[in-house]
Homo-oligomer: A and B are copies of this chain.
């Protein structure tokens, strides 16, 4: 399987991204090929410096880069030679089965919509986040593709999230919750109150409203929310470990005993960090596009890039899009 990789996406690009590609093709040992899309000279020099030949890695030249602060829709239209646009074109032509990018999320979303289009029956795609919980992993969507959503969008997110949870994560009839500011169906804003009615009428296993405090409990398998709230939660959550770390350091600074205790607990803290580390999860799929787009974290390390590539391979193999199509046809959306 050939997978396109935006070599210029993310804070550690291109070095961390290329390292991730090398690790991925080595690990999959011939079963995948990675097409690095980026400035050819830069990418080729880096590969050669690191003694890596052409085995299972190709380069497609894309001299332009889209910055994190550019307007995605303008940049996609103007920069046809950017790595993300070239990568999406490769997928459109069938030269790769999936695209992985840790660059501008907006650019990845807009270029996916523009070059791949949407799945039938889906109005807006959504970013599915993996969320560690006390009972395992939940999926939260939308993680930031749509700042403004309609109730119908949320219903479709729920359906896509349920399919993803079932066929990618292997959960049998996943339970779906709607993120709100109270458990009762009367609670919520206009958007969620209307979405609640749609979800209750669907054939999803709908658990009703869940609150912010229910997420880490693993109360449901799929948490549905608009992309604004989902993105605020994601970024807040990512900062939490840093805040705890800071509090522990401050506390430990004032006590030798605590410092020794912290050293003895180091393996526990490492395990916690690992559980919360996006690099472990690799990449977040953009569900609902007629193709495969995996969005890496902007701070993607080589390991995160590798895991995102492997997630893309698994996504293609698990046939999520066919299952989403089947589900939305069945429910007449």
Contacts and interface: CB of A to CB of B under 8 A. Distances in A.
A201 interface: no
Contact of A264 (B69, B235, B238, B264): B264
Interface string A17-60: 00000000000000000000000000000000000000000000
A181 interface: yes
A216 B232 contact: no
A223 to B, nearest CB: 11
A284 to B, nearest CB: 15
Interface stretch (A165-173, A245-253, A287-295, A304-312): A245-253
Interface string A206-243: 00000111111100000001111101111111111011
Contacts of A148: 189-190
The DSSP consensus for interface residues of chain A is helix
Contacts of A231: 181-182, 211-212
Nearest to A146: B189
B212 A246 contact: no
Contacts of A331: none
A147 interface: yes
A134 B267 contact: no
A237 B251 contact: no
Identical copies of this chain, number? 2
Contact of A275 (B187, B229, B233, B247): B247
A240 B276 CA distance: 12
B227 A239 contact: no
B216 A239 contact: yes
Contacts of A202: none
A265 B257 CA distance: 7
Interface residues of A, number: 62
Given A232-B211, A242-B216, A144 B181 contact: yes
Given A211-B235, A215-B239, A216-B240, A181 B227 contact: yes
A13 interface: no
Contacts of A189: 147-148, 226, 228
Contacts of A263: 261
A184 to B, nearest CB: 6
B147 A246 contact: no
Contacts of A190: 147-148
Contact of A236 (B187, B192, B213): B213
A232 B179 contact: yes
A238 B251 contact: no
B229 A213 contact: no
A212 B239 contact: yes
A258 interface: yes
A154 B320 CA distance: 40
24 contacts: A147-B189, A148-B189, A180-B232, A181-B227, A181-B232, A189-B226, A189-B228, A212-B232, A212-B238, A213-B236, A213-B238, A215-B236, A216-B239, A217-B239, A228-B229, A233-B236, A236-B236, A244-B244, A248-B265, A248-B272, A258-B265, A260-B261, A261-B263, A262-B268
